Structure 1
C-alpha cells in the first residue's frame, strides 16, 4: 500500500510542476501585447535610426494567415498536401510472444518507427498583404489539421514494405508484424495562426521565433482567447490533482506505517 502512496505523491508533485509551467505560460500570454506588422516595422525603424540595425528584439504576439516563404509552399510526405508545415509518424503494431513458467504469452504492442516534421520557415500575412517571417525552430504548432490517420495491414512474406512512399523493414523472431499506422498533420497556406514569441531582425527581415533568452514560444491554430481558456481549465485540474495526489498518497503511507 505504501508503494501506491509514494506513486501518488510523485504524481502530485509532477502535477504541481506542470501546473506552474501552465501558469507561467498563461501569464506570458496575458502580459504580452499583440502587434500589427506595421507597428513592428515602425519599432524596428526606430531601432535602426538609433544605430542598432540588426539588434531589434521585441516580445510580441502576431496574428495572421499562414503564408509560404519565397521558395514556395511545401508538400507533405504522406498525403502530398500543399502546406507550410507538416509532421508525420509511422508506428508498427506487432504481436510480442514470450514464454514464462512454461506458458506462452502473446501481447499486442506498438513501437514508433519515425516521427518527422518540417523545420523550414514560413510567414504570416495580414489583410493588407504585409508579411513577417516565422521560424518554427523545431516547435510543433498547436492543433494542426490532421490529414492522415490510417492503418495498413502487413503483407507476410515481404522483406520490407513500402507505404505512402516510405520503405519500412520487416521484423523477424518472435515478433509478428500486424501492420503499420500512419498519421500526418499539416498547416495549410491561409490557416489563421496566433504566434507568441520574440520578433528580431538578425537576418534582415522581421522574424518571430523562440526568445533568445528563454521564455515561451507558441504557434497555434487556436485564438489567444481559446488558448487562455484552455490553460485556465488545465491549471485548475492540475492544481486539484496535485493536492489530491499528495494528500491521498501521504494518507496511504502514514496508514501503512501506523498499521
Structure 2
C-alpha cells in the first residue's frame, strides 16, 4: 500500500512542476505584446541608429500565415505534401515472446523506429505581404495538421523493412514483426500561425526563434485566445492532480506504515 502511495506522491510532485511551467507559459502570453512587422522593423532601425546593428533583441508575439523559405517549399517524406515544416514517426509493433516457469508467453509491444522533424527555417507573412523569418530551432509547432496515420501489416515475419531507401534492421529471437505504424504531421503554406519568441537580426533580416537566454518559444496553429484557454484548463487539471496525488499518496503511506 505504501508503494502505491509513494508513486502517487511522485506523480503529484511531477504534476506540480508541469503546473508551474504551464503557469509561466500563460503569464508569458498575457504579458507579451503582439507587434506587427513594421513595428519590429522600426524598433530594429532605432537600435541600428544607436550603434547596435546586429544586436537587436525583442521578445514579442507575431501572427501571420506560414510562408516558404526563399529556396521553396519542403516536401513531406511520407505524404509528399508541400509544406514549410513536417514531422514523421515510424513504430514497429511486434510479438514479444518470453518464458517464465516453463510457460511461453506472447505479448504485443511497440518500439519507435524513426522520429524526424524538418529543421529548415520558414517565414510568416502578414496581410500586406511583409515577412519575418522563423527559426524552429528543433521545436515542434503546437497542433500541426496530421496527414498520415496508418498501420501496414508486415509480410514475411522477421524480415526487414525499407524506409526511404534505408533498410531497417531485422529482428530475431522469436520477436515476430506484426507491422508498422506510420504518422506524419505538416504545416502547410498559408496556415495561420501564432508565434511567441525572441526576434533578432543576427543574420541581417528579422527572425523570430528561441530566446537566446531564458524565456518561452511557442509556435501554434491555434490563436492566442485558444492557447490561453487551453493553458488555463491544463493548469486547473494539474493543480487538482497535484493536490490529489500528494494527499491520497500520504494517506496510503501512513496507512501502510500503521498497518
Q: TM-score, normalised by structure 1?
A: 0.98
* Other-structure match for 1:188: 188
Q: Report the Cα offset of residue 167 of structure 1.
A: 3.5
| Map of 1:116 onto structure 2 | 116
Separation in structure 1 between the aligned mates of residue 35 and residue 223 of structure 2, nearest angstrom: 14
Question: Secondary structure of the residue that 1:203 maps to in structure 2?
Answer: coil
Distance 1:18 1:238 in 2: 7
Segments of 5+ residues of structure 1 without an aligned counterpart are: none
Aligned partners of 2:158 and 2:177 also within 8 Å: no
Q: Residue in 1 aligned with 2:219?
A: 219
Provide the rounded CA distance (Å) in 2 between the counterparts of 1:73 and 1:180. 28
> In the alignment, is the contact (CA less than 8 A) between 2:28 and 2:216 conserved in 1?
yes
Corresponding position of 2:15: 15
1:247 — aligned with what?
Answer: 247
CA distance in 2, matches of 1:184, 1:91: 12
Matched, 1:171 2:177: no
Shift of 1:157: 6.0
C-alpha distance in 2, partners of 1:146/1:240? 31
1:191/1:213 CA distance change after superposition, 3 Å: same
Q: 1:163 offset after TM fit, Å?
A: 5.3
Show the counterpart of 1:51: 51
Q: Displaced runs of 4+ in structure 1, greater than 4 A? A: 163-166
Cα offsets for 1:110-141 (capped at 9, x unmatched): 00001001000000000100000000000000
Shift of 1:170: 2.4
User: TM-score with structure 2 length normalisation?
Assistant: 0.98
C-alpha distance in structure 1 between counterparts of 2:49 and 2:25, whole Å: 33
Query: Which stretches in structure 2 are left out of the alignment for 5+ residues?
Result: none
Following the alignment from structure 1 to structure 2, what is the Cα–Cα distance between the partners of residues 116 and 106?
30
Native 8 Å contact 2:157 2:177 kept in 1:
no
- Where does residue 61 of structure 1 map in the other structure? 61
Could you tell me whether the CA contact under 8 Å between 1:170 and 1:177 is conserved in 2?
no
Q: Aligned partners of 1:254, 1:159: CA distance in 2, in Å?
A: 53
**Which residue in the other structure is 1:28 paired with?**
28
Q: CA deviation at 1:174?
A: 1.2
Match of 1:102 in 2: 102
Write the distance in 2 (CA, Å) between the matches of 1:168 and 1:9: 41
2:158/2:176 contact within 8 Å kept: no
Q: Report how many residues are paired.
A: 259
Distance 1:184 1:169, change over 3 A: same
Task: Give the conservation status (yes or no) of the 8 Å contact 2:150–2:183.
Answer: yes
Alpha-carbon distance, 1:145 to partner = 0.3
CA RMSD of aligned residues (A): 1.2
Counterpart in the other structure of 2:205: 205
